[in-house]
């Protein structure tokens, strides 16, 4: 595993109740499946709000950068998050 580069992503899911969930991962497809189908690995927040769909992802340089971007997004108001989704920004 030494020398292997891992891409980190911050992602936003839209839940069945139209709420938004933000997280970080190295594999958005795997993580989406965990949120939708795995009671052990899916987030407690998303379990009762299934199905969820991936509506945004942004590649980051490393885990630290992904976590910082996640924190920025989580601090945004819902209207600001919706605007981000409309623009499709990946700053």
For residue 60, list its beta bridge partners. 8
Give yes or no for residue 91 having a pLDDT over 50: no
Q: What is the pTM of this model?
A: 0.90
Q: Kindly report, residue by residue over 65-82, the tens digit of the pLDDT.
A: 999 999 999 999 999 999
Q: Kindly report, residue by residue over 12-70, the tens digit of the pLDDT.
A: 999 999 999 999 999 999 999 999 999 999 999 999 999 999 999 999 999 999 999 99
Provide the percentage of residues in the chain whose pLDDT is more than 90.
87
Give the start-to-end residue ranges of the domains of the chain. Answer: 8-76
How far from 16 is each of 4, 52, 56, 64, 80, CA to CA, in Å? 36, 6, 16, 29, 20
For residue 58, list its beta bridge partners. 10
8-76: which CATH architecture? Answer: 3-Layer(aba) Sandwich (3.40)
Residues 6 or more apart in contact with residue 91 via CB below 8 angstroms: 58, 69
């Amino acid at each position: 595993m030494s020398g292997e580069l891992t891409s980190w992503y911050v992602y936003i899911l839209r839940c069945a109740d139209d709420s938004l969930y933000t997280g970080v991962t190295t594999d958005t497809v795997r993580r989406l499946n965990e949120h939708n189908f795995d009671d052990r690995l899916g987030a407690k927040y998303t379990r009762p709000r299934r199905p969820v769909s991936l509506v945004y992802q942004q590649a980051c340089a490393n885990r630290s950068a992904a976590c910082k971007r996640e924190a920025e997004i989580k601090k945004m108001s819902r209207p600001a998050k919706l605007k981000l989704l409309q623009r499709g920004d990946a700053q």
